[in-house]
Amino acid sequence: MIEGDLFKSLFDVIPFDVYVVDISSYEIIYMNKKMIQSRGDYIGQLCYERIYGEPKPCLFCKIPYLIDSKEAKPLDKTIVFELFNPVDDRWYQLQEKVITWPDGRTTKYSIAVDITELKETQNRLAEAHAQLALKNKMLEKLSITDSLTGLYNRLKIDEVLEITLYAAKRYGRTFSLLLIDIDHFKNVNDRFGHLVGDKVLKQMTEVFRSQIRKTDHLGRWGGEEFLIVAEDTDLQAAGQLAEKLRKAVESAFFPEVGTVTISLGVATWRDSDDRITIVQRADNALYKAKESGRNQIVVEG
Catalytic residue among 96, 117, 224, 250: 224
* 146-171: pLDDT as tens digits: 999 999 999 999 999 999 999 999 99
Assess whether 224 carries a catalytic annotation. Answer: yes
Of the candidates 175, 188, 174, 201, the one whose C-alpha atom is nearest the C-alpha of residue 258 is 188
Please check whether residue 17 is in contact with residue 109, taking contact to mean a CB–CB distance below 8 angstroms: no
- Helix%, strand%, coil% for the chain, nearest 5: 45, 25, 30
Q: Structural domains in the chain?
A: 2-117 (3.30.450.20), 143-299 (3.30.70.270)
What whole-number distance in Å separates Cα of residue 130 and Cα of residue 9?
46
| Residues constituting the chain | 301
* 272-299: pLDDT as tens digits: 999 999 999 999 999 999 999 999 999 9
Sign of CA dihedral 280, 286, 290, 291: positive
What whole-number distance in Å separates Cα of residue 284 and Cα of residue 301?
11
φ/ψ region of 274 (left if φ > 0, alpha if ψ in -120 to 50, else beta) reads: beta
Rounded mean pLDDT of the chain?
92
Using only C-alpha atoms, what is the Rg of the chain? 37
For residue 1, the Cα-to-chain-centroid distance in whole angstroms is 61
β-pair type (225-231, 216-222): antiparallel
Instruction: Check whether 72 has a pLDDT greater than 80.
Output: no
Q: Give the 3-state secondary structure of residue 34.
A: helix
| pLDDT at 134 (0 to 100) | 86
* 38-66: pLDDT as tens digits: 999 999 999 999 999 999 999 999 999 99
φ/ψ region of 191 (left if φ > 0, alpha if ψ in -120 to 50, else beta) reads: alpha
β-pair type (262-268, 297-299): parallel
Sign of CA dihedral 278, 281, 282, 283: positive
